[in-house]
Amino acid sequence: MYPFPIVKITFNGQPLSKKEYEERPEIHELYPTKEVFMDRLYLPLLKKAQESNTEQLLEISEHSIKINGVVHNLS
């Protein structure tokens, strides 16, 4: 069963912790806002994971957003 999407957030190829993100305001513009993350990325994947019972992977880096390995644009 896959009740929750897997979320991987990285900076320079390394996992990015919430603490590190908060301590580095200069990188905030490189990532989606909390609202965009929830409304346009996480919640739709959560719904899909629960409806289809399939693993959903969200990868966010300073260079791209990938959903299940496919690059997505937020514009």
Question: Residue holding tokens 């912790």?
Answer: 17
Whole-angstrom distance, CA of residue 20 vs CA of residue 61: 14
Give percent of the chain with pLDDT exceeding 70: 96
Which positions of the chain have pLDDT values less than 70? 1-2, 75
User: Looking at residue 75, what is its pLDDT?
Assistant: 67
pTM of the predicted model over 0.75? yes
Whole-angstrom distance, CA of residue 4 vs CA of residue 20: 24
Mean pLDDT in the chain?
94
The answer to whether 60 touches 7, Cβ cutoff 8 Å, is yes
Burial of 60 (0-12, 13-18, 19+ CB in 10 A): buried
pLDDT in tens, 19-35: 999 999 999 999 999 99
